[in-house]
Structure 1
Amino acid sequence: MSNSDGQEKVWYFQDDFLTKARTLVRRTFHHLGVEHIPLLGFVAVSRWDEEKYKREPVVVRDPRMKWVVDPHDLRERARAKADESSKEMAMSIWLVRESESGWFLRSALMEDVRSQGVAAKTVSLVSSAVPVAMHEVIFVLEMRVDDVVKCPHLGDVASEDWSVRGGSMLKAVSRALLGRIENEARKESGGFRSQIEDADIEGVLREAGGRLLGDLRFFIQDELLGGDSLYDWIGAISSLRYESAEAKAVVVFGMAEGGGKFELDFKKKVPLSSAAWARKVVELSSREFCLYSDGTSLHGLVRRNQRSNLEFWVEFRGQSRWWVGVGDVRLMEVAFGVPSLPRPQLSEDSFKAAFLRVFGESHHEGTVRAWSVVDDVLRQGHGALVVVVDDAESEIEHLASQSMPVTPVCLSGAVAVHAASIDGAILLDPNGMCHGVGVILDGEAYPLGDPARGARFNSALRYVFGKRQGAERRRRCLAVVKSEDGRVDLLPRLRPQVSKSKLVDMIKRVGTWPDGVAMDPDVQDECDSLVRHYIEYVRIAAEFADAGVEDGESGWGRKVVDAILGNAGARGDRVFLIRDGFDMHESDLVDDEDVGGMDEAG
């Protein structure tokens, strides 16, 4: 039994299974907003020594993977480990080799991926060994070190033991995916009529959230209590109000004897499994005091002037919203039961880059003044809105009836904070001068508005992308939105710039790739980039290509779109739910002569 490339297959539906499993990986990591999709492969080694049952080992790798393996050498090293273990534990060689063969294979494989990862700058996680037909199959999921480092994490990612001792949301998600892939492979007909590629992404993320808390318990001390229920307990507590108030508190998790001096030491410990009782006790927490838990009960109140790396913490941020971290590292944000990677705070560099892209390179001084206002406003504790618009002088006249116009001034930090304390936006021009405060914005409905977000965010979207009635052009505008929950958004949400010719070339290469032929690694990367960054432009190009095609017929453009989405793991018109989407902006596409120095995608 072999596949289309003539390689031996482990089971009949192997190719379909891998296609669907890789689709699930792509969908999940697109949703998280990770730049490069992890790569999936496997090694399969015969489970039997008898010649009549022995099968040749099989290795299936994504061509882009840095991981390599000699399956014969792997088997011999696993056998040596089994022999040594059988001597030490006085177990029969047969028992160890046959019943625990997968464990020793996995152990030998983990040594390979760790040592190779240091040199190749990759991080690989391996599944448990899965008995499939005559083989033990172990799946390998390979990530780039750069992608892991960009996300909050614990431990040295470049070290050989990070896959065991380190902690991050990416690692937890990878383990959750490998678990689902393992379970599907255990089925006798793995891949046949399987729906693994359509798995609920939020379900995968919830499982990953529970796994991350498990990693943190191990990171702190493996005797820490709580088990697999801790994630659900915390979620239940955060969902409850106490006398109409939302939960705002910090709980520190560590060993009971490590809590230090208790300001209040509960004689009767409060079980986290009793959500209503625990929610009531959460009200005792304040900026100065936090609750202490061993992972199963609340023990009392302690004073924490700074967060320790020997404990992990959970911060309740409102109803059904909470964060998890260790020390100063926030590892995970949870909203209504669904975890995500923490959104990075708006940096000065990213603000200035977007500012110059919207208003032009001639406004360097304006970026400095505008950032000074934005930085001060973001430091205060409540929601706020700062808008920069190219025609601020005429705009404040237009909005005079619903704002407080001021004589243009460069706001000081203290004044900016006070100006942000009232409803409405602070209105600046591209030189960073303030023209109004308390500005109530107008604008047309925007198709990419988010009903899950508040009025401040959606009104900013409408204003940034709207056009005043009677105006000849859309305004050039930039907005910084700070929501009451602390989230900060920079609008418009700009995608990486790309030259028009390069985008066309990418669409042609990916869209015309032969059916049934595995994509070259660089073309697959382009395919993922088209879906993640430029899918709107792909659709527009397709519409132009299909102009004049009869309704109901599938023209060349439609076929290209289907090919791109299909090769990236989508189905039909379904597009990935990407965590941070992009807005279409006039600066997205540039002429070839303007490419120099820009951050071009691809």
Structure 2
Amino acid sequence: MRHTINLFMWGYQSHFRLSLEHLARRVFELIGAEIEPKVLLVGLRRADLSTGHPVCIEPEDGEWPLTLLDRIVDEVNEAIPNHPMQRMFYGDDISMREKPDNIRRLTITEQVQRRLDVEGRKQGRRTFCSQPYRVSDYDVVCTLQVPEYLFRQYPAFVTIWNGEPNEASFVHSCINQILKEGRRGLMQPDPGRQIADDAMRSAPEVIRRAAARFMATPFIEGRFAGCDMFDAINAVSQAQYEGEAGAGRLIFASANDPNLSFVLKFDRPAALTQTRWARKLLQMSTSEAALIADYNSIVGLGDLSDDSTPPFAVDFLGHDQWDFRQGDQVLMRWRFGHARLPQETIGKERFIDNMRRVFVSINDDEIGRFRAALDILTQLRHGSSLVIASDAADEAKRLQRQGTVITPTPLSKALIEHATLIDGTILADKNGICHAIGVILDGTDSLESTPSRGSRYNSAVRYVAAASVPRMAFIVSEDRTLDVVPLLRPSVDRNKIEQAVANIASATKLTYHKLRSFLDDHRFYLNEEQCLIVNEALDRIAAEPREMGEISIVTPRFKPHPAFNESYLKD
């Protein structure tokens, strides 16, 4: 059976789209956003060519019908004469010659984004588009769709760029960089033919570029960084002063801001790029008085007295660790060479689900108590751990030589703050009653243990895994990584799994791709019988005749996961 592309732009368009979608999925995974981005390609035939479809969309059999783009070619042609850039005049002949093509590209981007964004928002998605690039006879636009809730979870702020208000956030920077990589990939010969080539950068490279671009945002109105702000901050965070890693805060503010209160003001500002000097000055920073940077230069030590407009600031948290924030809202986290979004290790709904599945009889008040305890732990400036054990009273007695047994006391903010100032773990029962502090945990080796993590994490993992009764641990490591052990996989809809398994049993090589991808992502939730059905279907599809040059995906064999049980499925 031949795979014929009806809306044909070039022969490897589907391969290219899948590669870009994989890159987008990997970027969001690494920064900590649990979403499923979607990539579309839209092509408008060049006006001077008369063969082929006027408009093409990839995938052509996806959820977006071609009718969504009806008359878009006419609307592009109608919008070009009235585009604001028509009023722009350049002082060189080359720019003036390029002006018509630039206007056409911008107009295509705007019209495609408008059409798809209107429909996408009806389904809770936002649409972003690259500028088009010519492939064969078409101007091709890379389109990325992400869930609307992502922007509620990680709100943007408005900044003035080229005289226009623009939304800015780390998410926006990542999206823009992904689309740039897509357009860069379109510039290669036969884009999509060589999946493993260097047409697009790797996800970690994309994220780093996005982080650097985000830190170039004008945080002070009317001012722009005269240096690479991202590299300058990284350099300060990695520098030591008399053998110590840096910790403190740097606030971005205009030196003449009337709300600025100086503790001291430098007669000669220190350039942020003068790393050793900047690191030395950071040593003076405290929670009451931060370094003040008039963008590129450190001008003094002080604070903003008016919080009506929260300032942008960098919190240095140790070697190669810093947070970029506006007021109390963290905008981006940098940890040991990796940029991430600020996020809860476990959201409220998943936290409740996790607690109920580990401690079957726990009630809402008890869950709320532990949620509050987790919030307190994450606000501490040092490593800490709390273990919840059904047998906490007995364990406190058994471990009394490696901890301090206390009179059973309800967990409170004061108790947690004081108890975590010493080594060891807080031990509480599922009712939120603390029985011991400073406990040195024991337990045999566990598959979840890892040499890449510290002793606090591995001790908690071993202790929880060794129990024959329900236990759970909250661990905040020295690098401020938060873990919940065990963090059970989310429960999924039983019907979705069953339907996907049933559908792949009758799928062909032309229709199985989405099913294969879904099942591959959810293989943990398949029982032995379902694994057998999927393997047989994949074997049958793999045996179908292949065309010359056709790319096939090799999927590892499905087998039941030893940790899977019916509690992971919901009706």
Flag whether TM exceeds 0.5 (same fold): yes
Farther-moved stretch of structure 1 (438-447 vs 353-362)? 353-362
C-alpha deviation, 1:77, in angstroms: 2.8
Q: What amino acid does structure 1 have at the position aligned with 2:215?
A: L
Q: 1:420 to 1:127 in 2, by over 3 A?
A: same
Partner of 1:590, secondary structure, is: helix
C-alpha deviation, 1:517, in angstroms: 2.9
Q: What amino acid does structure 1 have at the position aligned with 2:137?
A: M
The answer for the alignment partner of 1:358 in structure 2 is: 358
2:490 to 490, 493, 496: 496
Equivalent pair of 1:152/1:330 in contact (CA under 8 Å): no
The answer for the alignment partner of 1:600 in structure 2 is: none
The answer for the alignment partner of 1:482 in structure 2 is: 476
The answer for the alignment partner of 2:547 in structure 1 is: none
RMSD: 4.1
Q: Distance in 1 between matches of 2:247 and 2:113?
A: 42
Q: Distance in 2 between matches of 1:62 and 1:494?
A: 38
C-alpha deviation, 1:267, in angstroms: 3.2
The answer for the alignment partner of 2:272 in structure 1 is: 272
- Aligned ranges for residues 30-49 of structure 1 at < 5 Å? 30-49=29-48
Partner of 1:43, secondary structure, is: strand
- Aligned ranges for residues 128-277 of structure 1 at < 5 Å? 128-154=131-157, 165-195=166-196, 199-214=201-216, 216-217=217-218, 220-221=220-221, 223-226=223-226, 229-258=228-257, 260-277=260-277
CA offsets, 1:316-368, max 9 Å, x none?
Answer: 11100111122332111111221011122777766554333211135455445
C-alpha deviation, 1:307, in angstroms: 5.5
- Aligned ranges for residues 112-123 of structure 1 at < 5 Å? 112-123=115-126
- Aligned ranges for residues 416-435 of structure 1 at < 5 Å? 416-435=416-435
C-alpha deviation, 1:210, in angstroms: 1.4
C-alpha deviation, 1:126, in angstroms: 0.9
Q: 1:22 to 1:450 in 2, by over 3 A?
A: same
CA offsets, 1:520-563, max 9 Å, x none?
Answer: 6xx47844xx52xx44455x8499859xxxxxxx9749969x99
Partner of 1:236, secondary structure, is: helix
Equivalent pair of 2:251/2:312 in contact (CA under 8 Å): yes
Equivalent pair of 2:490/2:568 in contact (CA under 8 Å): no
The answer for the alignment partner of 2:462 in structure 1 is: 462
Equivalent pair of 1:39/1:65 in contact (CA under 8 Å): no
Q: 1:535 to 1:372 in 2, by over 3 A?
A: same
Q: 1:292 to 1:113 in 2, by over 3 A?
A: farther
Q: 1:505 to 1:299 in 2, by over 3 A?
A: same
C-alpha deviation, 1:89, in angstroms: 5.0
The answer for the alignment partner of 2:408 in structure 1 is: 408
Q: Distance in 1 between matches of 2:251 and 2:99?
A: 42
Q: What amino acid does structure 1 have at the position aligned with 2:182?
A: I
Partner of 1:263, secondary structure, is: strand
Q: Distance in 1 between matches of 2:201 and 2:155?
A: 26
Farther-moved stretch of structure 1 (236-245 vs 477-486)? 477-486
The answer for the alignment partner of 2:508 in structure 1 is: 514
Please list every run of 5 or more consecutive structure 1 residues that lacks an aligned counterpart in the other structure. Answer: 157-162, 468-473, 547-553, 564-568, 576-582, 597-602
- Aligned ranges for residues 438-587 of structure 1 at < 5 Å? 438-467=438-467, 474-498=468-492, 503=497, 506-507=500-501, 509=503, 513-517=507-511, 519=513, 523=515, 526-527=518-519, 531=521, 534-538=522-526, 541=528, 545=532, 556=536
Q: Distance in 1 between matches of 2:266 and 2:523?
A: 56
C-alpha deviation, 1:295, in angstroms: 3.4
Q: 1:341 to 1:571 in 2, by over 3 A?
A: farther
Q: Distance in 1 between matches of 2:276 and 2:505?
A: 55
Q: What amino acid does structure 2 have at the position aligned with 1:235?
A: N
Q: Distance in 1 between matches of 2:347 and 2:495?
A: 31
Q: Distance in 1 between matches of 2:354 and 2:385?
A: 17
Partner of 2:75, secondary structure, is: helix
Q: What amino acid does structure 1 have at the position aligned with 2:190?
A: S
Partner of 1:166, secondary structure, is: strand
C-alpha deviation, 1:492, in angstroms: 1.1
Equivalent pair of 2:121/2:148 in contact (CA under 8 Å): no
**TM-score of the superposition, structure 2-length normalised?**
0.82
C-alpha deviation, 1:463, in angstroms: 1.2
Q: Distance in 2 between matches of 1:305 and 1:463?
A: 48
C-alpha deviation, 1:296, in angstroms: 2.5
**Count of residue pairs brought into register by the alignment:** 549
Farther-moved stretch of structure 1 (502-511 vs 307-316)? 502-511
The answer for the alignment partner of 2:399 in structure 1 is: 399
C-alpha deviation, 1:315, in angstroms: 1.1
Q: Distance in 1 between matches of 2:320 and 2:275?
A: 13
CA offsets, 1:241-277, max 9 Å, x none?
Answer: 1112211121222445447454333333322223222
- Aligned ranges for residues 351-390 of structure 1 at < 5 Å? 351-364=351-364, 366-367=366-367, 370=370, 380-390=380-390
Equivalent pair of 1:346/1:488 in contact (CA under 8 Å): no
The answer for the alignment partner of 2:10 in structure 1 is: 11
Partner of 2:331, secondary structure, is: strand
- Aligned ranges for residues 253-332 of structure 1 at < 5 Å? 253-258=252-257, 260-305=260-305, 309=309, 311-332=311-332
Q: What amino acid does structure 2 have at the position aligned with 1:488?
A: L
Identity of aligned residues (%): 23
Equivalent pair of 1:20/1:197 in contact (CA under 8 Å): no
Q: 1:99 to 1:176 in 2, by over 3 A?
A: closer
Q: What amino acid does structure 2 have at the position aligned with 1:146?
A: Y
Partner of 2:281, secondary structure, is: helix
Partner of 2:241, secondary structure, is: coil
The answer for the alignment partner of 1:59 in structure 2 is: 57
Partner of 2:80, secondary structure, is: helix
C-alpha deviation, 1:281, in angstroms: 1.9
Q: Distance in 1 between matches of 2:35 and 2:381?
A: 35
